[in-house]
Chains A and B, each alone.
Chain A
Amino acid sequence: MASGKEIRTQISSIQNTQKITNAMEMVAASKMRKAQERMELTRPYASKIRDVIGYLAEADSDYRHPFMEAREANRVGYIVVSTDRGLCGGLNNNLFKTMLQDSRFWNDKGVPSDFCTLGQKASVFLNVVGGNIVASETQLGDRPSAEQVIGSVKVMLDAYRDGSIDRLYVVYNQFVNTMTQTPTIEQLLPLQAEAEPEGKYRWDYLYEPDPRTLLDGLLTRYVESQVYQGVVENIACEQAARMIAMKSATDNAGEIIDDLKTEYNKARQANITQEISEIVSGAAAV
């Protein structure tokens, strides 16, 4: 059994760790709330642009934009949204697992994948396991701006335009609630046709300058906004996951401290008992 002093040192060291994890938990909780607010703010844009594209796609039916044309897949592209930092439980690993399953499914059919990574962890992971990373952006921070994803998205859109990839997916964690984050793969390109609402009143816009130019710009914006939405959502997930991970770390530290305290008291008690028995036996000898 360790001596009293050793146990005391260990307890105080674990207490220090506990203080840190506790602080990190509280920081994550407050960051999560802010991230959730930002997540709500980005939704109106995405839904608006989706509506407009829906109308536009119907407006000029003899012109099919390449982003809407499904073609045979020879190579697929993934935009992988991950966190920059760790200490968030299995968040990133679950995401990578989902992504690899999908990528493997294509690979078995002889369709290789290209990757675009947003966030440090994804590029580190793909760097180790191999994988063709064509674009990357790290250090997105807690409040990423839409501009930060534009470059990476453009690389993938260009690849789609010139035919080097035939499908484009975005992979991110969907924020369900604080306890649940679901790894999600969404197909960005080609756009999947939405079910047409029945009995819809047909009308058309006036276009300036012309539908094609507008459609091209809007589709780019649409893909960007979807990816940006993914990034923002992933940050909320990161903070939630970190909060849970740090909470359980704090609880664990508390349990270890309790155990060590019991052990310390036992050691102390054993010490006292021994002293008493020494004194008693000494007194008896006299």
Chain B
Amino acid sequence: MSQTVQTSVMSMSDGQSESPVVLGLETRNIHAWFGKHHVLKDISLKFPEKTVTGLIGPSGCGKSTFIRLLNRMHEFIPGAAMAGQVLHDGHDIYSPEVDAAAIRLKVGMVFQKPNPFPAMNIRENVLSGIKLAHLKVADHDSIVERCLTRAGLWKEVKDRLTATGGSLSGGQQQRLCIARSLAVEPNVLLMDEPCSALDPGSTLRIEETIKELAEKIAVVIVTHNMQQAARVSDYCAFFLTDGGPGYLVEADATKKLFTNPGDTRTADYVQGKFG
């Protein structure tokens, strides 16, 4: 798949003032519903390449729904609906001619629970995305090594690539899942609480991996762990709900949000007073 790189200025179809195209992801006035239930209200955020953005907020405020909207996984839930735009490299991923599978190839996802494919061994797991999407790649071995190295797992598994994914520890499985998402070379990686089931050591390894990934691509990470958000992210967005739909309270550089937030609720949350 050839990646189209937009560097020109693109005019918005809704007649807004022209703004430079963000490489990576951008949402405009995103809303989400499950049936009649309005779960997410009016989120406009940018996730440019080479940044890590943390999404923080208490449970049930729509972070996971939001992240699933970003690579068109939202629509798998029966009754799901949305409004607004999600721009990937400047193109709306929800416009009718767009192939959702092609979007998911470019906007990868890592889930809360490690989910390596049980019927495949470690090597096959890493290459699974390439096989599933019929990508033509010459050198499989170098991809396996490169992705496992980027995911910080290569040293541990290089001598047993034919072992099953299930034989690894939880943290290793999660890094295998990250390696698997990297093999198809996404330019955005979404991570939905990727470390919540892991021990501190594995968490640290994954955070290092995230920082390395951010040298090339955009990473969006949902986390309940304030320290993790502070350690790993460049920017943070704080979501909240008052019982109704989740909304964005404030989004800013992580340092600013944690030391000098613009909203008292943010201050309370990052200091652990509620949530």
Q: Tell me whether A and B are bound partners.
A: no
A residues near B (Cβ < 8 Å) are none
